[in-house]
Structure 1
Amino acid sequence: MQMNIPPRNTIRLTRRGRLALVVAGTVVAGTAVAVPLLTLGSGHDEAKPATLVIPEGWRASQVYDAVDTALKLPPGSTRKSIGKAGLKLPNDAEGNPEGYLFPATYPLRKGETPESLLRFMVDTANKKFNAAPVAAGAQYHSMNVYQAVTIASIVQAEAATKADMGKVARVIFNRLDRGMPLQMDSTINYALHRSTIRTSQDDTRIESPYNSYQRMGLPPTPIGNPGEEAMRAVLDPPSGEWLYFVTVKPGDTRFTTDYAAHMRNVAEFNALHQPTGQAQPPSRSPRQSTASPQPVGH
């Protein structure tokens, strides 16, 4: 198991650290995590422009393709424009906007460019993520906002429903707290530029900083662009000791603390999804968002 993760990507949460934060900031942090994130109002222009919908969980590559299509530009145009867009990203992002292309419904006004759309998305994310409740909630869990966005992106990709998001977030915190690798299939999918419900043993051995089976801590960047529900789940997850979960079938996600019970659940999942010559269930991909994107206005 490889352990050489850059310090900024490794988050180790201890109960002692959390208790210290609670004692030192019960009023500020303890109440802030329950406050809703800042919500932007939509514009009230009489002439309604065309819009671009960015669903929760889309990867940056999907956003770039959607902008190219919406603006009728050659493929790859938006990706090439990142360097000159002047995006106000956190230092930890190192110029990579993954996680900060906020999912919403964006108006397409006359003269819109890839740079202006990307700036609008990142500015919207900053308004959401830089709000005081988010910073306080991140501090409460001994992490910075960029790490919170990274965890939220995993929650967005892994949770089968909005109701599961809080428990998925708790599993991530519990595994980090115990020094366990995350072992999240969504990070493997991101590394392999795919979306699938099946991960092979060979997949878990790939050389990638996003291989959360082989590497400790968080991946170096978010693995998609999370919405507000996923972020709320990270800031205020339910209490629980869960360490494992698997969605056996739609509407049946099983969380457990017991590895043997988890393996029985995995065996049931495998039995249900064995190739039988019939069409396989569709993979749950970032395109299948768990919440309706909210409209925003310039």
Structure 2
Amino acid sequence: MKQNKKTISILTAIICLLLGGFLWQGIYLPKSSNGAPPLAGRVVGGLESKAENLFLIEKGQGLQEISENLEKENLIKSKIFFELYVFFNKKQNQLQAGGYFLSLSMNVPEIVEKFVSGKIAKVKITVPEGFTIKQIEEKINELFNTTRTVLVVLRVGDFKNEFGFLTGTPDDLTLEGFLFPDTYQFFYNESSDEIARKMLKNFEKKLDLNLKEEIEKQGKSIFETVIMASLLEKEIKTLGDKKLVSGILWKRLENGIPLQVDATITYISGKKTTEIPKEELEVDSPYNTYKYLGLPKGPICNPGLKSIEAAIYPEDSNFWYYLSKPDGDTIFSKTLEEHNIAKAKYLR
């Protein structure tokens, strides 16, 4: 009888040790990446060390759904281990919604600590000069592997009370032209309004008092200047050429001559091409600078500081025409005859 009790005690101890070891491995050893399928969370250039995979916890998700998603994305060995750890440590109501950078080298306690800390994932993004608002939106959503950022629906009227430089810009326009191209850090859970506001604040900072005073001195508005800057951004490469073209375009405006800027046509069509069919020059759009006199209805991209400065400080010349060669160089002409000769030479 004593022998049986001893045997049972030994077996119980062995089972407990095995079970304890099993639980310890599942909880404290990280998930191995060997043979694991690709993670559902997009691999992005995170700013945190050892953080590569963006894992999302949506608002309203409970422990079971979170653990299932972790298991599905191969970040933990089993959802059971995760749920047991959270339950016994009374963390069920402390897991915060948001995006988190996780790696396969993290164990369950480290992952839980991330979720409890609320340190939402932050992504570094560089917005190139000349990007449209649509391109900015697409780039942010691609990095966060989501479709939640929607910048194209935001309107100038929603931000006028906060940003004085928007005075004079029609309320119904998008923020095209004013989302300053730069390098930013965005949190996963930042709303479209917050992202736009961060970029507008940067625009306000870059357009300093001296530039604003010069615009006012010339009798122009910030809105007109940004439209011109957006044309220069899309049309011309170098700062020197931008200033010359700025002088040409302002001069054409003052003399009632159509601007005939090709970039306004590609903005309407959305095509990425330098070859514009003749019929597209007749498209009825307030952005068509071939069909209508004056500046287009609004900016056609988000220009950088050099283009804004070129719009503010144009260079006078005897030129009335210009064209961009396929290699990006700019050819200037004084007469229409010279311009047509240049077109035949460089664009045929």
TM-score normalized with structure 1 length: 0.69
Indicate whether 1:87 and 2:87 are aligned. no
> Pick from 123, 136, 140: which aligns with 1:63?
136
Q: CA deviation at 1:69?
A: 1.7
Aligned residue in 1 for 2:202: 124
Q: CA deviation at 1:212?
A: 0.4
SS across alignment from 1:79: coil
Aligned residues: CA RMSD: 2.4
Q: CA deviation at 1:110?
A: 5.8
Q: CA deviation at 1:268?
A: 1.3
Whole-angstrom CA distance in 2 between matches of 1:125 and 1:180:
31
Whole-angstrom CA distance in 2 between matches of 1:85 and 1:216:
26
Is this contact kept in 1: 2:123–2:188, CA < 8 A? Answer: no
Structure 1 residue runs of 5 or longer lacking an equivalent are 1-45, 272-298
Q: CA deviation at 1:233?
A: 0.6
Whole-angstrom CA distance in 1 between matches of 2:250 and 2:158:
34
Whole-angstrom CA distance in 2 between matches of 1:123 and 1:159:
26
Which aligned pairs between 1:118-267 and structure 2 lie closer than 5 A? Answer: 118-129=196-207, 131-250=208-327, 252-267=329-344
Give the aligned residue type for 1:82: L
Aligned residue in 2 for 1:292: none
After superposition, the C-alpha distances for 1:172-228 in whole angstroms (9 at most, x for unaligned) are: 111112110100001111111223212222111111001101101111110000000
Aligned residue in 2 for 1:104: 182
Q: CA deviation at 1:163?
A: 3.0
Whole-angstrom CA distance in 1 between matches of 2:346 and 2:156:
46
Is this contact kept in 1: 2:235–2:324, CA < 8 A? Answer: no
After superposition, the C-alpha distances for 1:26-77 in whole angstroms (9 at most, x for unaligned) are: xxxxxxxxxxxxxxxxxxxx97953111000111111111122223222x74
Aligned residue in 1 for 2:62: none
Is this contact kept in 2: 1:87–1:118, CA < 8 A? Answer: no
Is this contact kept in 1: 2:149–2:191, CA < 8 A? Answer: no
Is this contact kept in 2: 1:60–1:225, CA < 8 A? Answer: yes
Which aligned pairs between 1:23-62 and structure 2 lie closer than 5 A? Answer: 50-62=123-135
Whole-angstrom CA distance in 2 between matches of 1:84 and 1:214:
26
Whole-angstrom CA distance in 2 between matches of 1:238 and 1:99:
22
After superposition, the C-alpha distances for 1:75-103 in whole angstroms (9 at most, x for unaligned) are: x7423763699534614142510001110
* CA distance 1:219–1:80, shift in 2 (3 Å): closer
After superposition, the C-alpha distances for 1:158-181 in whole angstroms (9 at most, x for unaligned) are: 103333111111111111121101
Whole-angstrom CA distance in 2 between matches of 1:220 and 1:269:
30
Structure 2 residue runs of 5 or longer lacking an equivalent are 1-46, 50-121
Whole-angstrom CA distance in 2 between matches of 1:214 and 1:81:
27
Aligned residue in 1 for 2:145: 72
Give the aligned residue type for 2:127: I
* CA distance 1:85–1:235, shift in 2 (3 Å): closer
Higher relative contact order (CA 8 A, sep 6+): 1
TM-score normalized with structure 2 length: 0.59
Whole-angstrom CA distance in 2 between matches of 1:218 and 1:77:
30
Whole-angstrom CA distance in 2 between matches of 1:254 and 1:265:
7
* CA distance 1:97–1:262, shift in 2 (3 Å): same
Is this contact kept in 2: 1:102–1:122, CA < 8 A? Answer: yes
Point out the more displaced range, 96-105 or 236-245: 236-245
After superposition, the C-alpha distances for 1:127-181 in whole angstroms (9 at most, x for unaligned) are: 223x322222222332101110010000001103333111111111111121101
Q: Which has the larger radius of gyration?
A: 2
